[in-house]
Amino acid sequence: MVCGVIVLETVISWKFRHGTGHLTNEPTPLYISIPWIVTCVTLVGYYLYLRLKPNRVTKYGDAPWEIEAKKAQASGAITSKAEKKKEKAAAVTAEAKQKVEQVVQKVEATAQQARNENHEEKSRAAAKNTKKVETAEPEVTEARKRWNKKKAGEEVESPEPKIEAPAQVQVQVPEEDEWRTIPSNRAIRKSKKSKRD
């Protein structure tokens, strides 16, 4: 990252070199220079803090306090922060697993109870249906009796067809007086036209 910043700064400084037509000869305004100064001072100060703090972490772990911590860790007296975090994470996952198992057990229990109730209802309905089937006597019609006789090889008389007489239709014929009393449409239209005129 540092090398990338240096390369970019070099390219920018080459682009804005003297005589290229940019405003490089003008004084830099404070709203640009102050943030740059603050950022640079902050970065240098943080680097010095990390470099000079008493229990700083070294690349190869050869600082005196790191060597003592490694010896204590090897003997089992002190556990590192990473191991403590791992233990906490393992405890949290174990608790979460227990909670999930409890929820799964509750769901399975309710599902099993519902299955048992459904099975009981089905068995009751099946028992009722079997009782109905046992008590109901099949109705044997005349056609079925004839078919059974034909199957057995006996002679069967053919049934007599039922012939029904057609119903008598009564038609009422209007009398002549009724027809005379009904006015025709032409007479009604003529009378309306005469009234309008």
Tokens of 32: 């640009």
The number of C-alpha atoms within 13 Å of 139 and in the hemisphere containing its C-beta is: 2
Contacts of 187 (CB under 8 A, 6+ apart): none
Kindly give the confidence (pLDDT) of every residue in the chain, 197 residues in length, as a single tens digit, with 9 standing for 90 and above: 888 999 999 988 887 777 776 666 677 888 988 999 999 999 999 999 988 887 777 777 777 777 787 777 777 655 566 777 888 888 888 888 889 899 999 999 898 888 888 888 888 887 777 765 555 555 667 777 777 887 787 776 766 655 665 666 666 655 555 445 555 555 555 555 555 55
The number of C-alpha atoms within 13 Å of 185 and in the hemisphere containing its C-beta is: 0
Report yes or no: 13 and 6 within 8 Å, Cβ to Cβ. no
DSSP 68-117: HHHHHHHHTSS--HHHHHHHHHHHHHHHHHHHHHHHHHHHHHHHHHHHHH
Query: What's the pLDDT at 89?
Result: 84
- Domain map (residue ranges) of the chain: 30-78, 87-129
Tokens of 9: 């700064």
Query: What's the pLDDT at 24?
Result: 60
Contacts of 65 (CB under 8 A, 6+ apart): 54, 55
Distance CA 90, CA 4 (A): 41
Go through the chain and tell me how many residues it has.
197
Q: From residue 110, how far is each of 30, 99, 102, 114, 173 by CA, in Å?
A: 73, 17, 12, 6, 80
Q: Which amino acid is at 17?
A: R
Distance CA 91, CA 97 (A): 10
Query: What's the pLDDT at 53?
Result: 84
